[in-house]
Structure 1
Amino acid sequence: MSNQVVIALGSNIEKEKNLPRAIELLREMCEVTAVAPIYETKPVGLLNQPNFWNTAVLLQTDLTASQIKQQLISTIETKLKRVRQTDKNAPRTIDADIVLFNDAVFEYDGGDGRTRPVPDPDLAKFLHLAIPVADLLPNFPHPETSEPLGELAERLLAEVVEEYGRSPLTAVS
């Protein structure tokens, strides 16, 4: 059975090279059915670093979540020389995470001794995930809340604009 999977991608080290290369690598390894626009976003957590470029990619694959993490994502992170820092918000060549796996809610083994939740809990918290994912699947219901992803993204954006007076995202042409 083919799975519909959304992978979020982000980069703030040589992002103009690394983000397109990550998409290219995914296309070489599996069936990419859609790619969201790229957005420039401010960093989260560790603020004194370059802005990020973020996007999301929709895949069709027979792989499990653990296989995607261990085969696809690990390959991309290795090829793009991802270095893991103590601070998970540190600058990086590439960040790739499974955000959605069909409409399922579960945890999977990332192969590094850590389990990871699906859907990614950051989807409901951060615009740099919510907007690109909603661009791909605006009417798709969030697996835990049933809120359409387009409405979730609009709600988060409205909250941020109300708090800061502007959107923290800029589309990259």
Structure 2
Amino acid sequence: MAKIYISLGSNINRQHYIEQGLHALTDVFGSLILSSLFESEAVGFAGKAFYNMVAGVSTELTLAEVAATLREIEFAHGRNQDAKKFSPRTLDLDLLLYDDIIADSPAQIPRDEISKNAFVLCPLAEVAGHLAHPIIGQCYDELWQQYDKSQQKLKTVAFIWPKK
């Protein structure tokens, strides 16, 4: 079984789409290990603030199957097929890690954003802090400790999952 980590993000009807994303991921993968939910400013474009978190799961799906499944979930929840990289999102699901595989296709693994964006690195450090980045070689806790936190501000959002 592969251990994978998925970033969830939304800046359109944020609470709703994060919850819908979690339901869909649970339907496909079963039990999720979740980070806290964070609010962060949009990066790369002027837009509403995002909600972001990271989910860890175990799966027998291949890397290609996981990438295709995440795209299907995004499209099922209002993502436009021609959406630009830096634009508003109903639901954005990015595969961050698939075990310690390094790949460029069908998805960039490990995802380049891990070390660049607080809204990815901080929640990943919460759920997989002890793991080492397969290229950089440092664990995610260390990377987060070294990160310049003045670059991007994060605010923890009260969030309970699953909903009672």
TM-score, structure 2 as length reference: 0.91
- Quote the residue 2:2 is aligned against: 3
**1:57 aligns to what SS in structure 2?**
strand
Whichever structure has more strand as a proportion of its residues is 1
Specify the SS of the correspondent of 2:104. Answer: strand
CA contact (8 A) 2:75 2:81 kept: no
2:34 is equivalent to residue 35 of structure 1: yes
Q: How far, CA to CA, are the matches of 2:4 and 2:83 in structure 1?
A: 28
Give the aligned partner of residue 24 of structure 1.
Answer: 23
Query: Alignment partner for residue 74 of structure 1, among 71, 76, 87?
Result: 71
Q: Report matched runs for 1:101-120 at 5 Å.
A: 101-109=98-106, 116-120=107-111
Secondary structure of the residue aligned to 1:118 is: coil
Shift of 1:82: 0.6
Equivalent residue of 2:23, what SS? helix
Q: Is the Cα contact below 8 Å between 1:32 and 1:57 reproduced in 2?
A: no
In 2, the alpha carbon distance for the partners of 1:32 and 1:77 equals 19
Are the aligned partners of 1:8 and 1:129 in contact in 2 as well (CA < 8 Å)?
yes
State the 1:172 CA deviation: 0.4
Alignment check: 8 A CA contact 2:26 2:32 kept: no
Partner of 1:124: 115
With structure 1 as the length reference, what TM-score do the two structures score?
0.86
- Unaligned regions of 5+ residues in structure 1, if any? 110-115
2:51 is matched with 53
Identical columns (%): 23
Matched residue type, 2:155: T
Q: Contact (CA 8 Å) 1:65, 1:98: kept in 2 or not?
A: no
Contact 2:24 2:73 in 1 (8 A): yes
**Of 152, 157, 160, the match for 2:149:** 160
Distance 2:120 2:57 in 1: 16
**Which residue of structure 1 lines up, in the alignment, with residue 61 of structure 2?**
63
Counterpart-to-counterpart distance in 2, 1:65 and 1:31: 17
2:89 corresponds to 1:98: no
Counterparts of 1:155 and 1:84, CA distance in 2: 36
Q: CA RMSD in A?
A: 1.4
Q: 1:137 to 1:86 in 2, by over 3 A?
A: closer
Instruction: Give the aligned residue type for 1:20.
Output: E
Q: Which stretch has the larger CA shift, 128-137 or 25-34?
A: 25-34
Q: Which runs of 5+ in 2 are unaligned?
A: 159-164
* Structure 1 partner of 2:85: 88
